[in-house]
Structure 1
Amino acid sequence: MKAFHLLGAAPLYTNSFVLISDAGHAVVIDPAAEVQEYDKIFKENNATLTTILCTHGHYDHVGSAGVLSREWKARIYCEPADCRGSQLFPLKSADSGYQEGEKLTVDELTFTVWHTPGHTEGGVVLLCGDYLFVGDTVFQGSIGRTDLEGGSMQKMDASLRKLAGLPIPKETQLLPGHGDFSTLGEELANNYYIRSALRGGNADF
């Protein structure tokens, strides 16, 4: 497997990721960067894009999804609740949503999916090997906003408690939708919002 990190445009600088299997099949997680940046990676690595995985449907995470899907005939995964065809949620549809706990496979790559609503109704986290793609559910030391359309602090607290209880090694690299990378263990130990949710509190954000 080869892994690549890209950034979306200023000022949000959304984190986007490309994983390429040993057989040359590419998976994009949160297609936030410019289309040509992905195409350059595919060309340089003789790869074919087959799968686009969206952690949620906000515009800064799905901006290149439609063009990439049409260009490569790639399958888009995004929860129906986040496909609203609006300015905030520009996707009108996806090829598939996610089932709780399902495993999506692309050659040797296996992605396990859990629903984590709170930032949006359709938010998910994706585990692939040593990488945990958490979108805007968790950031280093913080969490995603819950005051936008589809957001809920109550659901976010429940999702944070779920995340803390998943059977994932603490050294797993936590890759958020914005900002610096972390590990799951670091966030369980130091993230105020996760600790508050585990105490049963309701942290204001």
Structure 2
Amino acid sequence: MLTRKPIYPGVIELNFQAGEVLGCNVYLVYDQDEWLLIDIGYEETVEDFVEIIRLIDFPLSRCKTVVATHADVDHIQGLAKIKQILKTTATGHPNAVQPLRTGDTLVTLAEIKAQNLHLTMPPVEIEHEVNDGDILRVGKLELEVWHTPGHTNSQLAFRHGDLLLSGDNIYRDGCIGAIAAHHGSDIKAFIQSLERIRDSDVKWLAPSHGPIFAKDNDFLNRTIDRVRGYLQMADFGTLAESWPLMDQWDDEVAKGILPEGLAGS
């Protein structure tokens, strides 16, 4: 058996526990022998994570559920497999139910033809739907469910005391979860979710990728300001609400304006 290495009372991150990064962050939340998982990652690493759980002496039969933070393949490709091994249920936001039930490779980002990315997405049933304000109970421990859309429309975060299991909302380097229209991204909603995290009194953020870090409002404000700028950038296509350059172009065309020093004919 291995000595447990919790990152916070009642919370173990399985990559940190293993001493090596196997995939996305997988959080085991527990009280005594009862426990649940938040995310599981790719199918190929499921058995590695199960072995870690065995080695830190959690009875496999005591897994209450496996929670999907959202419906992206790098978080939940192994969900059907882990459910079968643990004989447990899956939990997620209502917006995650259809793409997971159907194994939708487009919405889950399992297939990106332009990059020759073709991953399997095993269909999986979500037995328990949760939404903002719900409580997940593990023994006497309580996780408050936050619906934090933006990265996807199914993105969830979970509060436990001073810790927020913050999903793909923000990482320690100021990056955020990928913005892509076809898996439910929404820039305005993302800003609101980041503002909610900033305005909360949580002290620590435990993201779905990378290291745990202290919440810092100045840091969050810089990210929020950057993301707000995306609303007026052509880079983000249909997710942007305007492109000010085109208003300038309209005006310059009407007035016949060219850059100084450029000889028009």
TM-score (norm 2): 0.65
Q: Specify the structure having the higher radius of gyration (Cα).
A: 2
Tell me what 1:21 maps to. Answer: 31
3-state SS in 1 of match to 2:133: coil
Give the superposition deviation at 1:108: 2.3
Tell me what 1:77 maps to. Answer: 91
Aligned match of 1:55 in 50, 69, 74? 69
Tell me what 2:48 maps to. Answer: 37
Percentage of identical aligned residues? 22
Structure with the larger strand share: 1
Distance 1:76 1:55, change over 3 A: same
How far apart, in 2, do the equivalents of 1:132 and 1:119 lie? Answer: 17
Structure with the larger helix share: 2
Tell me what 1:87 maps to. Answer: 105
Aligned match of 2:178 in 131, 145, 169? 145
Distance 1:71 1:152, change over 3 A: same
How far apart, in 2, do the equivalents of 1:96 and 1:81 lie? Answer: 12
Q: Give the counterpart letter for 1:202 in structure 2.
A: G
Give the superposition deviation at 1:15: 1.5
How far apart, in 2, do the equivalents of 1:175 and 1:4 lie? Answer: 9
* Two-structure CA RMSD over aligned residues (Å): 2.3
Distance 1:41 1:21, change over 3 A: farther
For structure 2, the residue ranges without an aligned partner over 5 or more in a row are 1-9, 109-120, 237-265
TM-score (norm 1): 0.82
Q: Give the counterpart letter for 2:180 in structure 1.
A: D
Give the superposition deviation at 1:164: 2.2
Contact 2:206 2:213 in 1 (8 A): yes
How far apart, in 2, do the equivalents of 1:46 and 1:39 lie? Answer: 10
Greater relative contact order (CA < 8 Å, ≥ 6 in sequence)? 1
Contact 1:125 1:132 in 2 (8 A): yes
Count of residues in Structure 1 that have an aligned counterpart in Structure 2: 193
How far apart, in 2, do the equivalents of 1:92 and 1:46 lie? Answer: 24
Give the superposition deviation at 1:14: 1.6
Tell me what 2:192 maps to. Answer: 158
Give the superposition deviation at 1:8: 6.4
Q: Give the counterpart letter for 2:38 in structure 1.
A: I
3-state SS in 2 of match to 1:51: strand
How far apart, in 2, do the equivalents of 1:156 and 1:4 lie? Answer: 25
Give the superposition deviation at 1:148: 4.3
For structure 1, the residue ranges without an aligned partner over 5 or more in a row are none
Give the superposition deviation at 1:5: 2.7
Q: Give the counterpart letter for 1:139 in structure 2.
A: Y
